[in-house]
């Protein structure tokens, strides 16, 4: 692992996508505890399933350089980072507001 510049690039993208996907899989149970409609629950569960498949595929392909230009790897990495940020923002929006001590 990490022996040529191309391998450093592709393995770094795979690891970054895998970490974001693991984050999505890890926060999905906490998101499902919130009040959601049935289609929102299905959407989050399906996204976690896809993220688990990405983790498995990318960790299995570490140490290999793609035969062709890996545009899919770039898009999946960007998409998983975006989805992880979206999950984090959703959880932050669900936090209760802190009680204020003084009212004006």
* pLDDT score recorded for residue 2: 54
What integer is the mean pLDDT of 73-86? 92
Burial class (CB in 10 A: 0-12, 13-18, 19+), 54: buried
Which residues have C-beta within 8 Å of that of residue 89, sequence separation ≥ 6? none
The rounded Cα 38 to chain-centroid distance in angstroms is 21
pLDDT grade, residue 103 (50/70/90)? Answer: low
* pLDDT score recorded for residue 104: 62
* pLDDT score recorded for residue 82: 93
Distance CA 72, CA 77 (A): 8
What integer is the mean pLDDT of 53-66? 84
The two structure tokens encoding residue 96: 């209760």
Percent above pLDDT 70 for the chain: 95
CB 89 within 8 A of CB 27: no
């Amino acid at each position: 692992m990490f022996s040529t510049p191309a391998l450093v690039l592709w393995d770094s993208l795979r690891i970054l996508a895998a970490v974001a996907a693991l984050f999505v899989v890890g926060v999905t149970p906490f998101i499902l505890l919130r009040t959601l409609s049935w289609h929102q629950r299905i959407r989050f569960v399906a996204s976690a399933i896809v993220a688990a498949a990405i983790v498995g595929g990318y960790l299995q392909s570490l140490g290999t350089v793609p035969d062709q230009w890996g545009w899919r790897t770039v898009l999946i990495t960007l998409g998983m980072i975006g989805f992880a940020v979206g999950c984090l923002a959703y959880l932050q929006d669900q936090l209760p507001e802190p009680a204020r001590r003084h009212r004006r």
